[in-house]
């Protein structure tokens, strides 16, 4: 039986001035590594440094002129707060004015191409082959998710399952797939309302993990506290989740996304049941931990001990978290304590502390734990590389890899790839309409990943100047 709280349960946008200067942020991250706030950085603490320089514009030599200009243009647009703040509304107005086709013609060569791999398998394969040549591995993501009040019904969830099975097939069958990964959103397969109800029940009564495993096995389970209809929907959802896991095990690692705190405990419970069933000898199913949450450190510790007690391998996707603004607004509205750390610095400290804890677990028991350091934050990436070296973790055995989003911080991804690290890009695909909510979030995220994006823009400019200089000089002569 699991503990009664959502424990196992395990379960943005920032104005520029709040983010502080890049230098201040950099120092804070290095200080946050061990949780002490006294040193001025790792080197001063006598730790060896890893030569990961993310300063070299030549990382972009592999980009065509068109790709350079597009990236620069898109990041430039994202630097106007008024555009980013209202991009959801602006996009729907533009879609109404231009019509579906006109809007698609405008978006496809710009924002869509920057952040999305394509619409059909030919387009996706083309993008993936290019990435694979650069040493980057794709982690495909079907951008489907639901929030409260958007529930769509059993037929739609079945269609979503088919889309995810197709994603498993694409991830596995192509020449560009090497140790492939894909992302999965539970709310595409099970209603958010049920996830919220499960989360509430978890805070009131203990949950039997084995019962959920039996549900995955196809048994018609019934959970106390759910009515007949809800139980029936849970059984269908578990069947869908199980089908995807069965299809992917030994082929594709499935990374379950974390979403909002009001449903995360239920998502984690279901993911833990999947891990118990499918991760006996290797981590095929992974869970996501959002380090902006005050409780994230204890959730990670708990996940490690549950995995030991229940005897399964643990896969960890470590992120800072993407829903800060909405979480904060909701907590304020409901008069609850804000679940998010009070500052970016505290989130960094939490991220780096959890990173360290998982790396130590990997070094103690290689093969039982795996982690993807899913961040654009250079200092966290450097810290991970450094600790891998210090703890003597094999760089090539796949237990530690890195992840960034397609179209973001390529200078980090390409540098890591050049240094021989396993690096994945999270790659959404689908039509312009299907990926619109994702694109809006990406535009907004460009504000929170401020340091990385500013740096990427500067490096892109330098590379552009490097290419144009000879032409301008010749023209002048
Ligand atoms: C491969 C991949 C998979 C991902 N999957 C998920 C997922 O499943 N679920 C999910 O929620 N997100 C996910 N994300 C997004 C992620 O959580 C972050 O939103 C994004 O990566 C930016 O964080 P960073 O560490 O890259 O950048 P940084 O610039 O170092 O940090 C920005 C982040 O810090 C936090 N932050 C900023 N300001 C403050 C503040 N004032 N107080 C407290 N915290 C603050 C926020 O989380 C913000 O997003 C994923 C990202 C990647 C690369």
Residue ranges in 313-392 assigned as alpha helix (H): 324-333, 344-364, 378-390
Which atom of ligand 1 is the closest one to the Cα of 372?
1
Residue 257: CB within 6 Å of ligand 1?
yes
Range of the structural domain that residue 390 is part of: 16-56+134-435
- Nearest one of 145, 154, 120 to 438, comparing CA atoms: 145
Residue 258: CB within 6 Å of ligand 1?
yes
- Nearest one of 373, 462, 463, 457 to 421, comparing CA atoms: 373
Question: Which residue reads 């929170």 in tokens?
Answer: 448
DSSP string covering 50-88: P------GGGGGGS-HHHHHHHHHHHHHTT-HHHHHTHH
Q: How many CB atoms lie within 10 A of CB 196?
A: 16
118 domain-assigned: no
Q: How confident is the model at residue 418 (pLDDT cuts 50, 70, 90)?
A: confident
106 domain-assigned: no
Tell me what pLDDT residue 233 has: 96
Give whole-number Cα distances, 147 to 84, 85, 99, 226, 270, in Å: 21, 20, 27, 20, 17
Residue 448: CB within 6 Å of ligand 1?
yes
The closest residue, in CA terms, to atom 25 on ligand 1 is: 375
Number of domains the chain is built from: 1
DSSP state of 178: S
Residue 343: CB within 6 Å of ligand 1?
yes
Which sign does the torsion angle of CA 99, 105, 110, 114 carry?
A: positive
Q: Please check the confidence at residue 30 and state whether its pLDDT lies above 60.
A: no
Tell me what pLDDT residue 405 has: 92
Residue 70 token pair: 């597009």
- Nearest one of 467, 402, 455, 471 to 26, comparing CA atoms: 455
Query: Is residue 312 exposed (0-12), middle (13-18) or buried (19+ Cβ within 10 Å)?
Result: buried
Q: How confident is the model at residue 100 (pLDDT cuts 50, 70, 90)?
A: confident
- Collapse the DSSP code of 299 into the 3-class scheme (helix H, G, I; strand E, B; otherwise coil) and give the result: helix
Residue 13: CB within 6 Å of ligand 1?
no
The closest residue, in CA terms, to atom 38 on ligand 1 is: 344
Q: What span, in angstroms and rounded, lies between the C-alpha atoms of 276 and 311?
A: 7
* CATH number of 411's domain: 3.20.20.220
Q: How many CB atoms lie within 10 A of CB 21?
A: 9
DSSP state of 340: B
474 domain-assigned: no
Tell me what pLDDT residue 296 has: 97
Q: What is the mean pLDDT of residues 229-251?
A: 97
Tell me what pLDDT residue 437 has: 79
The percent of residues in the chain predicted with pLDDT above 70, rounded, is 84
Q: Please check the confidence at residue 7 and state whether its pLDDT lies above 60.
A: no
CB-CB contact of 335 with 308 (8 Å)? no
7 domain-assigned: no
Q: What is the mean pLDDT of residues 145-161?
A: 79
Tell me what pLDDT residue 91 has: 82
Residue 319: CB within 6 Å of ligand 1?
yes
Cα of first residue to Cα of last residue in the chain, in angstroms, is 79
- Nearest one of 437, 449, 440 to 143, comparing CA atoms: 437
Which atom of ligand 1 is the closest one to the Cα of 29?
30
Whole-number average pLDDT of the chain: 84
Q: Which of 139, 180, 182, 322 is the pocket-test mutation for ligand 1 (most atoms within 8 Å of CB)?
A: 322
Q: What span, in angstroms and rounded, lies between the C-alpha atoms of 314 and 301?
A: 12
Q: How many CB atoms lie within 10 A of CB 218?
A: 11
In sequence order, the 6+-apart residues with CB closer than 8 A to the CB of 1 are 206, 207, 208, 209
CB-CB contact of 42 with 383 (8 Å)? yes
The closest residue, in CA terms, to atom 21 on ligand 1 is: 375
Q: How many helices (H) and strands (E) would you count in the chain? A: 19, 8
The mean-pLDDT minimum among 150-159, 310-319, 451-460 falls in 451-460
Which atom of ligand 1 is the closest one to the Cα of 340?
43
335 domain-assigned: yes
Q: For the chain, what percentages of helix, strand and coil (3-state, to nearest 5) are there?
A: 60, 10, 30
Tell me what pLDDT residue 20 has: 30
CB-CB contact of 317 with 1 (8 Å)? no
Q: Please check the confidence at residue 12 and state whether its pLDDT lies above 60.
A: no
250 domain-assigned: yes
292 domain-assigned: yes
Report how far ligand 1's centroid is from the alpha carbon of 318 (Å).
9
Q: What is the mean pLDDT of residues 318-329?
A: 93
Residue 22: CB within 6 Å of ligand 1?
no
Q: Tens digit of pLDDT for each residue in 134-152?
A: 889 999 999 876 666 666 7
The percent of residues in the chain predicted with pLDDT above 90, rounded, is 54
Higher pLDDT, 181 or 17: 181
Tell me what pLDDT residue 280 has: 97
Which atom of ligand 1 is the closest one to the Cα of 341?
43
Tell me what pLDDT residue 148 has: 66
- Collapse the DSSP code of 402 into the 3-class scheme (helix H, G, I; strand E, B; otherwise coil) and give the result: strand
Tell me what pLDDT residue 118 has: 92
Q: What is the mean pLDDT of residues 91-106?
A: 84
Q: Tens digit of pLDDT for each residue in 429-464?
A: 998 888 887 887 776 665 655 456 778 888 899 988
DSSP string covering 300-314: HHHHHHHHHHHT--E
The closest residue, in CA terms, to atom 42 on ligand 1 is: 343
Q: In angstroms, how far is CA 449 from the centroid of its own chain?
A: 13
Q: What span, in angstroms and rounded, lies between the C-alpha atoms of 182 and 163?
A: 12
CB-CB contact of 299 with 307 (8 Å)? no
Higher pLDDT, 76 or 330: 330
Residue 186: CB within 6 Å of ligand 1?
no
Which atom of ligand 1 is the closest one to the Cα of 425?
1
Q: Please check the confidence at residue 19 and state whether its pLDDT lies above 60.
A: no
Q: Please check the confidence at residue 5 and state whether its pLDDT lies above 70.
A: no
CB-CB contact of 198 with 269 (8 Å)? yes
* Bridge partner list, 366: 369
The pTM is what? 0.87
Q: What span, in angstroms and rounded, lies between the C-alpha atoms of 170 and 178?
A: 12
444 domain-assigned: no
Q: What span, in angstroms and rounded, lies between the C-alpha atoms of 285 and 424?
A: 16
């Amino acid at each position: 039986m699991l503990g009664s709280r959502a424990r196992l349960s395990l379960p943005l946008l920032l104005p520029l001035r709040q983010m502080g200067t890049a230098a201040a942020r950099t120092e804070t991250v290095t200080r946050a590594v061990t949780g002490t706030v006294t040193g001025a950085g790792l080197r001063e603490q006598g730790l060896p440094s890893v030569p990961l320089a993310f300063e070299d514009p030549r990382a972009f030599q592999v980009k065509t002129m068109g790709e350079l200009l597009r990236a620069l243009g898109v990041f430039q647009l994202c630097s106007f707060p008024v555009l980013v703040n209202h991009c959801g509304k602006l996009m729907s107005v533009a879609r109404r004015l231009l019509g579906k086709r006109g809007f698609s013609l405008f978006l496809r060569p710009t924002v869509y191409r920057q952040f999305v791999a394509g619409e059909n398998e030919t387009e996706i394969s083309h993008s993936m082959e290019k990435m694979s040549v650069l040493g980057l591995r794709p982690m495909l993501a079907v951008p489907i998710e639901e929030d409260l009040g958007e529930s769509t019904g059993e037929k739609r969830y079945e269609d979503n399952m088919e889309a995810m099975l197709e994603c498993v097939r694409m991830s596995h069958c192509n020449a560009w797939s090497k140790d492939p990964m894909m992302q999965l959103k539970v709310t595409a397969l099970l209603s958010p309302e049920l996830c919220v109800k499960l989360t509430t029940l978890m805070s009131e009564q203990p949950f039997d993990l084995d019962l959920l495993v039996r549900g995955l096995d196809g048994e018609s389970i019934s959970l106390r506290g759910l009515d007949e209809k809800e139980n029936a929907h849970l059984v269908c959802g578990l069947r869908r989740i199980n089908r995807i896991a069965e299809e992917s095990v030994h082929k594709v690692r499935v990374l379950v996304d974390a979403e909002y705190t009001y449903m995360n405990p239920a998502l984690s419970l279901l993911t833990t049941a999947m891990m118990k069933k499918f991760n006996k000898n290797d981590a095929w199913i992974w869970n996501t931990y959002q380090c902006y949450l005050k409780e994230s450190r204890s959730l990670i510790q708990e996940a490690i001990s549950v995995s030991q007690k229940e005897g399964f391998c643990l896969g960890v996707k470590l992120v800072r978290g993407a829903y800060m603004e909405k979480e904060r607004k909701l907590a304020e509205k409901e008069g609850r304590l804000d679940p998010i750390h009070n500052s970016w610095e505290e989130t960094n400290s939490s991220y780096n502390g959890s990173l360290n804890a998982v790396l130590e677990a990997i070094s103690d028991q290689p093969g039982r734990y795996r982690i993807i350091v899913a961040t654009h934050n250079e200092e966290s990436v450097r810290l991970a590389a450094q600790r891998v070296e210090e703890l003597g973790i094999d760089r090539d055995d796949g237990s530690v890899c890195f992840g960034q989003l397609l179209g973001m911080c390529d200078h980090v991804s390409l540098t890591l790839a050049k240094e021989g690290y396993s690096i994945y890009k999270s790659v959404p695909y689908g039509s312009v309409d299907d990926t619109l909510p994702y694109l809006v979030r990406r535009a907004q995220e460009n504000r929170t990943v401020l340091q990385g994006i500013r740096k990427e823009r500067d490096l892109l400019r330098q590379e552009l100047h490097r290419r144009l200089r000879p032409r301008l000089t010749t023209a002048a002569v």
